[in-house]
Amino acid sequence: MKIISIQSLAISDVKVISFARFRDERGYFTEVIRENDLVGNAELPMLAQKRFVQSNESYSQYGTLRGLHLQVDPNLDKLVRVVQGRIIDFALDVRLGSPTFGKLVAYELKADRGLNYEEMVLVPFGFAHGFVCLEDSLVQYAQTGIWNGKGEVSFSFISPEIDQSLLSASIQDHITSIYPHLRMSPKDTAGINLTSWMTHPLMKQVRF
């Protein structure tokens, strides 16, 4: 893949990776993931000696909120991209000892076939991940471990304990406007808050 840029969000461990599309009169071609461009990249030290071993896809209607999800054993890093539609992608710092513990960062991802590049968000281990759909959306993400339901923890996105102070005004406006239309699974609706996480049996495995 031809990486154009790697930028950090307000919590620098969470990255936005821009990569090129190669165009001609027929359309475009792009390499979405090439391991040696990611795991050997000095700007992505969290991926050193890791492999992307599972790829997932979800289609969600407008207003759907998926997450916030964290997995331990194996510890997952995720690369998230939008194939169709538009989402706000979230990462919540839940690492024991982190100076940004409990803070949320976000980035708007959208599918735009007219651009000469594409973007994806890298959510490293230690962050609970989720997204909300601003349109009907098709989302794909690759991960560095096989899904293990026994190691998964769901955090409540609507918990008042989450610190949203790092979010931009435009993203906060999007969240406010979509709240009346939120669609959540029973599992996500029953997600834990940060106080409960502090005594969770998996918490000590998620360190800064």
User: Between 40 and 68, where is the model more confident?
Assistant: 68
Looking at 69, 107, 129, 174, which residue is catalytic?
Answer: 69
Catalytic residue among 107, 129, 141, 174: 141
Q: What is the structure's pLDDT at 196? A: 97
Q: For 183-192, what is each residue's pLDDT tens digit?
A: 999 999 999 9
Residues 177, 5: Cα–Cα separation, whole Å: 31
How far are the Cα atoms of 25, 31, 47, 87, 92 from residue 100, in angstroms, in the given order? 47, 33, 21, 24, 9
Active site residue 69: yes
Does the predicted model carry a pTM greater than 0.85?
yes
- All structural domains of the chain with their residue ranges: 3-205
* Structural contact between residues 143 and 38, judged by C-beta atoms closer than 8 angstroms: no
CATH number for the domain formed by residue range(s) 3-205: 2.60.120.10
| Residue 200 among the catalytic residues | no
Tens-place pLDDT, residues 85-138? 999 999 999 999 999 999 999 999 999 999 999 999 999 999 999 999 999 999
